Structure 1
Amino acid sequence: MSTRVARTRRVVPALALACVTALGLAACSSDGNSISKQANQGSDKNYLAGDGTLAQLAPGDRGKPVTLSGKLLDGTPWSTKDHPGTVIVVNVWGSWCPPCKAETPDLQKAWEKLQPEGVLMVGVDRQEGPQTAAAYLKTAGVTYPSLQDDGGAALVALQGKASATPSTLVLDQQHRIAARVSGPTTTSTLVGLVDDVLHQAKG
């Protein structure tokens, strides 16, 4: 069955053209100032990040709900099941990842803008211990929670749509994947993607 890309209600920076393939959320952008270009400007030549593609799915084309659960960095249990009807932003990251560290201030700013709207944000830490991750987030001034590395179970729960690090997914009120950025993102891009999901629910 073919899929289609949801039309945004505003100009989302870094999104000139998005396309979705039958295999899932794959996209392309021809914008010279796109996230793809940002991702490719990383100085760490030994690091393979996402290509910066951004994709959105219309409500009728979204798949099954995501069930993500685990322990937060402080050991507290957390699950999407505890937040029914809530839009959730999921960011896969690691403090060892240069593009992840570069996007951290933008993610925090997005969180500060979205939290009053009732939106949740949670990180999914990869390939490091919770103490290391927590120390970095404290230094970076991050106030949204992150799940501990669980050996890859979270990536499976995210239906294979967050294979790159960093990756950011927007889950709609039913916790279906509504949008994805494969690579680093910006505050305006992420807020725009979430606003689209919120407006679709109202419309």
Structure 2
Amino acid sequence: MTRAALAGFVVVALVGLGACSTDANSVAEQAKAGDNKGYVAGDGRVQQVAAAQRGAPVVLSGTTLEGQPWSMAADAAGKVVVVNVWGSWCPPCVEEQPHLQEVWSSMLAAKKPVAFIGIDTKESASTGLAFVKANGVSYPSISNDATQGQPMLALQGKASATPSTLVLDSRGRIAARVLGATTVSTLTALIDDVLTEQT
């Protein structure tokens, strides 16, 4: 590498370092904080992906909290799928749960081709099941406890915060995501945008 090229590389590297976020709520800063709260909270940031820019389909399957098999191929083929990563130990997850249930209930009532699946993480299936029963959650969740770590791997690294919500198009590709807690209005709008693509 020539001296001029090396100098240019150093300038680019320094500019890149200067661009790093110092936002205390960023995933990287929370991971470094060492406050042992047990989760990395998202900031509610919403990202939508244009159809032409979407990656490979998510291939998600697992065992529900009730001990039944669940897979996209068998249980959600051809539908828009909402995937929510949660845990009963996570305060933002608990706060957003009524919003998710409300959207799920409205999609069912409207007979829209939408499926919901939760991924309960970092706790036993029995603990997760107790939470969903106590809180009237009517859509299924897959257990992602220590013995079943595969469901999170299927999400292609796109669910880095707890909670995270992904909206998959009818081909199983990630069309939108929310890192952090979502709301009825945000999630409904994201789902409707993806449903509109199919008409």
TM-score, with normalisation over the residues of structure 1?
Answer: 0.75
Q: Secondary structure at the match of 1:120?
A: strand
Distance in 2 separating the partners of 1:147 and 1:79: 10
Please show how residues 20-99 of structure 1 align to structure 2 within 5 Å.
46=37, 47-82=39-74, 83-99=76-92
Any gaps of 5 or more consecutive residues in structure 1? Answer: 1-35, 37-43
Amino acid at match of 1:188: S
- 2:7 aligns with none
1:155 to 2:152 alignment: yes
Q: Secondary structure at the match of 2:144?
A: coil
Q: Is the 8 A contact 1:155 1:163 kept in 2?
A: no
Distance in 2 separating the partners of 1:84 and 1:134: 25
For residues 85-114 of structure 1, what are the alpha-carbon distances to aligned partners after superposition, in whole Å with 9 as ceiling and x for unaligned?
A: 111100000000000000000000010112
Amino acid at match of 1:147: I
Please show how residues 172-183 of structure 1 align to structure 2 within 5 Å.
172-183=169-180
Q: Secondary structure at the match of 1:111?
A: helix
Distance in 1 separating the partners of 2:90 and 2:165: 14
Shift of 1:150: 4.3
The structure whose Rg is larger is 2
- 1:123 aligns with 118
Number of equivalent positions: 160
Q: Which of these residues, 189, 194, 197, is aligned with residue 192 of structure 1?
A: 189
Distance in 2 separating the partners of 1:45 and 1:153: 24
Q: Secondary structure at the match of 1:117?
A: coil
Shift of 1:157: 0.4
- 2:106 aligns with 113
Shift of 1:84: 1.9
When structure 1 is superposed on structure 2, of 173-182 and 154-163 the one drifting more is: 154-163
Shift of 1:155: 1.6
Q: Is the 8 A contact 1:87 1:119 kept in 2?
A: yes
- 1:13 aligns with none
Distance in 1 separating the partners of 2:151 and 2:157: 9
For residues 4-25 of structure 1, what are the alpha-carbon distances to aligned partners after superposition, in whole Å with 9 as ceiling and x for unaligned?
A: xxxxxxxxxxxxxxxxxxxxxx
Q: Is the 8 A contact 2:123 2:145 kept in 1?
A: no
Shift of 1:60: 0.8
Any gaps of 5 or more consecutive residues in structure 2? Answer: 1-25, 27-34
- 2:140 aligns with 145
Distance in 2 separating the partners of 1:77 and 1:139: 22
Distance in 2 separating the partners of 1:170 and 1:137: 21
Distance in 1 separating the partners of 2:43 and 2:165: 13
TM-score, with normalisation over the residues of structure 2?
Answer: 0.77
- 1:166 aligns with 163
Q: What is the aligned-residue identity percentage?
A: 54
Shift of 1:45: 8.9
